Structure formats: C-alpha cells, structure tokens
A and B are shown apart, each in its own frame.
Chain A
Amino acid sequence: DTAVSQTPKYLVTQMGNDKSIKCEQNLGHDTMYWYKQDSKKFLKIMFSYNNKELIINETVPNRFSPKSPDKAHLNLHINSLELGDSAVYFCASSHRGWTDTQYFGPGTRLTVL
C-alpha cells in the first residue's frame, strides 16, 4: 500500500484555469504538508495542516488554498493559474510535526501554458 499518494501525477492546463491536486496518507499521521519544488529544484514549504488547523502559510498567494476534509487528506486548490505556478508539488505527512520523519508523496508536475 502506498503511504502517501497524490493525484494526478501530471497536470497540464491553461493560464487562468482552476485546478486541484489531491493527497491522501494511510499512515495515521496527524500532520500533512504541501511543498513546491521550482524549476531549479529548490524546495519550499507552502502549507502545514495539523488536526484540521492551518499552522503555516509561507507567503503563498491566496490563489492557493489547502482543504482537509479529514485527517487523511489534504487537497491543494489553485485558482486563476499563472505561468509561474508551473512546478512540482509534493504532499507529505509526519506523525506529529516538523521534528518527526517526513513521508513524501510522488509529486505532481504542474505545467501552466
């Protein structure tokens, strides 16, 4: 069984569209995260959710919104997509927080045309 899964793996879309990326973890972890990896392969935290509470929003445009229907899911919604949103987005989870081992999903490569 996959511990952290993301769908879709690839997403190609036009500027201005709205899209979502889904993330699910079956590890029973309390905290889930979204990371963005840019074209230079640099990783940056976007969001962290713990027990349905947003802990960190790291200067991310409000066009991005995480939604957590339950502890096992943290979906990423993106409105009015821009060219600069093209990147690989990774979902991850950990038992409690930052000082626990992080388990990463396979990533979603988003291309905005």
Chain B
Amino acid sequence: KNEVEQSPQNLTAQEGEFITINCSYSVGISALHWLQQHPGGGIVSLFMLSSGKKKHGRLIATINIQEKHSSLHITASHPRDSAVYICAVVSGGGADGLTFGKGTHLIIQP
C-alpha cells in the first residue's frame, strides 16, 4: 500500500510570497492528483500529472517519478489561495484507487 506524505502540514505566509507544498510517496504510481479544498468544504481538482510539469495561471505542479516526489507551487500568493491542498496518488495499476495525503493547510495573510 502506498504511503503518501505531505509537507508542511500547516503553512502561513504573507500575500505575494512564493509557496511550495511537497508530496512524497513510497511506491511507484501511474498518476498524481493535486486537489484544493476550500474553507467552505468544496473540493476542486487542480492538476493530474504523470510526468514533468504543468502550469495553470499562478499554479505550477511538478513531479519526479524517480524520486517519488511532487511539488505544488503558487506564485504571487493571494488570500483567496487560502485552502487545504491535498495530494493523491494512483498506484497498483489503479486497483488500489486513490491514496490521499493528509493535506496542507495554507493561510495567506493580506
């Protein structure tokens, strides 16, 4: 079974700062998802990646398959980025479903 670790668990930063959230996993995967859970509880998919790097607006996600590690970066952070960011991996050829990390609680102060 894949073990998914996220760091940091909590992060408070000032508006405008560059944010990095890390995700590591123990077993080879076929894909990795980054999700955002708003303070109101809704969950939105940010990225799904299996290699390399993806960018959407101020968000960038990278993955290093050899090192079993992914990062989510937020440039020019804004208070509306305050949310819980969750990493989830697809392993076992999909038979194990999605295994989730415990999330990173991000607060961006104005």
Contact = CB atoms under 8 A, between A and B. Distances in A.
Interface of A: 40-45, 48, 56, 58, 88, 90, 92, 97-104, 106-107
A45 B45 contact: no
Given A41-B103, A43-B100, A99 B45 contact: no
Contacts of B35: 102
15 contacts: A41-B102, A42-B103, A43-B86, A44-B100, A45-B98, A56-B95, A56-B97, A88-B41, A98-B94, A99-B90, A101-B48, A104-B42, A104-B45, A106-B41, A107-B43
Given A42-B102, A106-B41, 14 more contacts: A41-B84, A42-B103, A45-B98, A56-B96, A56-B97, A92-B43, A98-B30, A98-B31, A98-B98, A99-B50, A99-B90, A101-B45, A101-B48, A104-B43
A60 B42 CA distance: 23
A42 B88 CA distance: 11
B97 A48 contact: yes
> Which of A41, A58, A99 lies at the interface centre, i.e. has the most chain B CB atoms within 10 A of its CB?
A99
B44 interface: yes
Interface of B: 30-31, 33, 35, 37, 41-45, 48, 50, 84, 86, 88, 90, 94-98, 100, 102-103
Q: In terms of DSSP, what is the predominant structure of the interface of chain A? A: loop
B7 to A, nearest CB: 16
| 7 smallest beta-carbon distances between A and B, as pairs | A104-B43, A98-B90, A45-B97, A99-B31, A43-B100, A98-B94, A56-B97
